[in-house]
């Protein structure tokens, strides 16, 4: 990942938080069948290994499963809030005109050797954890045990588990840290109220402004 120093985010807890809140990762392999990528919902277990361990499942019919059994490394990309930044949000535009459009985003890349987990007990535990993760905020959370046992058993036969101890992890928070304070404030204010994604980015820009020396 291209990481200018002011955009680097090396704090493990912050990286894991993005994975937790934006858990649909892009799973990428470069195996005998060539480059493949699939969007897969992941869970991250921060305590399972030094950098955390990713857990997920794939359809048994997914051809990427064969690649995962062959490769020594795969990459998972997690993307958080992102939005276009117009030069019109910068006070510098009025002062010098020397501004250009850009894009703000936050992202985490995680590399590791995948382990295929073809085990019904492991899969059931994974599904319970994944369901709880996403259903917990609901007033009446659905759980796997709400479905008939025979149905769940049949569904489990159609999927295979995946575990990736993270060997290397990089985070990038490109949220206007390279702009002066006035331009940062202009971005935060200009994005506020422009939609969910823009609001999230406004909050990130503001957070990093407060964290700046």
pLDDT in tens, 71-86: 999 999 999 999 999 9
60: domain CATH number is 2.30.110.10
Mean confidence (pLDDT) of the chain: 93
The set of residues, in sequence order, having a beta carbon less than 8 Å from that of 61 and lying 6+ positions away, is 158
In a domain, 195, yes or no: no
In a domain, 33, yes or no: yes
Whole-model pTM: value is 0.91
In a domain, 212, yes or no: no
**Domain span holding position 56:** 5-83+103-179
Q: Residue 212: what pLDDT? A: 65
In a domain, 143, yes or no: yes
Do residues 178 and 129 lie in contact, with contact meaning Cβ atoms separated by under 8 Å? no
Structural domain count of the chain = 1
Got the DSSP string for 155-179?
Answer: HHTTEEEEEEEEEEEEEEEESSTTS
In a domain, 187, yes or no: no
In a domain, 44, yes or no: yes
In a domain, 193, yes or no: no
pLDDT in tens, 123-149: 999 999 999 999 999 999 999 999 999
């Amino acid at each position: 990942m291209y990481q200018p120093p002011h955009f680097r985010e090396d704090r493990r807890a912050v990286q894991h938080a993005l994975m937790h809140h934006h858990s649909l990762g892009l799973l990428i392999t470069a195996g005998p069948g060539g480059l493949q990528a699939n969007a897969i919902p992941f869970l991250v277990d921060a305590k399972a290994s030094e950098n955390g361990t990713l857990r997920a499942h794939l359809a048994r019919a997914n051809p990427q499963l064969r690649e995962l059994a062959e490769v020594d490394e795969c990459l998972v990309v997690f993307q958080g809030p992102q939005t276009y930044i117009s030069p019109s949000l910068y006070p510098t535009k009025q002062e010098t005109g020397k501004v250009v459009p850009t894009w703000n985003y936050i992202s985490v890349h995680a590399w590791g050797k995948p382990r295929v987990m073809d085990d019904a007990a492991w899969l059931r535990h994974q599904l319970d954890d994944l369901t709880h993760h996403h259903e917990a905020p609901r007033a009446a959370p659905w759980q796997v045990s709400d479905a008939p046992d025979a149905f769940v058993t049949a569904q489990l036969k159609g999927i295979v588990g995946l575990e990736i101890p993270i060997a290397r992890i990089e985070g990038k928070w490109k949220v206007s840290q390279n702009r002066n304070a006035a331009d940062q404030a202009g971005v935060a204010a200009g994005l506020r109220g422009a939609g969910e994604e823009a609001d999230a980015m406004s909050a990130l820009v503001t957070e990093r402004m407060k964290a700046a020396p």
